[in-house]
Amino acid sequence: MLVFISDLHFMDETAGKHNISAKAFKKFLKSIKVHSDKTKNKDKEAKIVFLGDIFDLLRTEEWFKEKEEDRPWGNNTEKMKKRAKIILEKIEKKNKETLNLLSRIELEKQLKDTHVEIIYIPGNHDRLCWIIDELKEKVIKLLDLNTSNSENFKHYFYDLKYGVYASHGHEIDSFNYAGGSGYSDKDYKKTPIGDLIATEIVTKIPGELIKKVKIKKFMLNHLFL
């Protein structure tokens, strides 16, 4: 059995509470069990492929604590790496119950007598989880990845047995992919303009508007007192 999961966008909630609740995943896992039973899953195998943007390291206000050169589109500094590590740790805390549900041990409990292999393919919002070694190690631990499985941290998933080729898909989006048609590691490492848009516009503007609305309400309340 082959299952694809993408775009969960687990966040640290500094830019708003947008995380999916653990209850939703409990229902999802029950659904996987039903499908596994229906197909009779003769090989007693389940490949769970996380197909990008599982962790969202861009939509967070944590980056505003750093200078521009120490943000993801800056100079790849040590400060950037440390801040990214802090963000991933916060994401883990905010989504601890859900991440536990998605661990290999818990998945095998749900599917019963089935060998579960979890595979991780990075997207554009979790690009740093592939580039920064410490973050990569953290993801391996959080998702209980098999370190000897060469399918992990590639830019695509290919399985001849299932007749499947899959990628996150940001390669066809010029805003979120800055590389060329060679699709090499070097291409994927290039910082796309979408990183800056996600943080400086999508994250910052709503926060600034909320602050201004609060200030305006405060001034109006005191004006009529």
- Structure confidence by residue, pLDDT tens digits, 172-225: 999 999 999 999 999 999 999 999 999 999 998 877 777 767 555 544 454 545
Q: Per DSSP, which regions of the chain are E strands?
A: 2-5, 45-51, 115-121, 157-159, 164-166
Number of structural domains (the chain) is 1
Average pLDDT of 128-152?
A: 94
Residue 182 amino acid letter: G
Q: Is the pLDDT of residue 114 over 90?
A: no
Lowest mean pLDDT among 98-112, 127-141, 208-222: 208-222
Please name the helix (run of DSSP H) or strand (run of DSSP E) that holds residue 40, with its range, or none: none
Q: How far apart are CA 196 and CA 31, in angstroms?
A: 37
Q: Is the pLDDT of residue 13 over 90?
A: yes
The chain-wide mean pLDDT, for the chain, equals 90
Q: How far apart are CA 110 and CA 125, in angstroms?
A: 29
pLDDT of residue 16: 87
Q: Which long-range contacts (CB under 8 A, 24 or more apart) does 205-211 make?
A: 206/15, 206/16, 207/15, 207/61
Q: Which domain holds residue 38?
A: 2-223
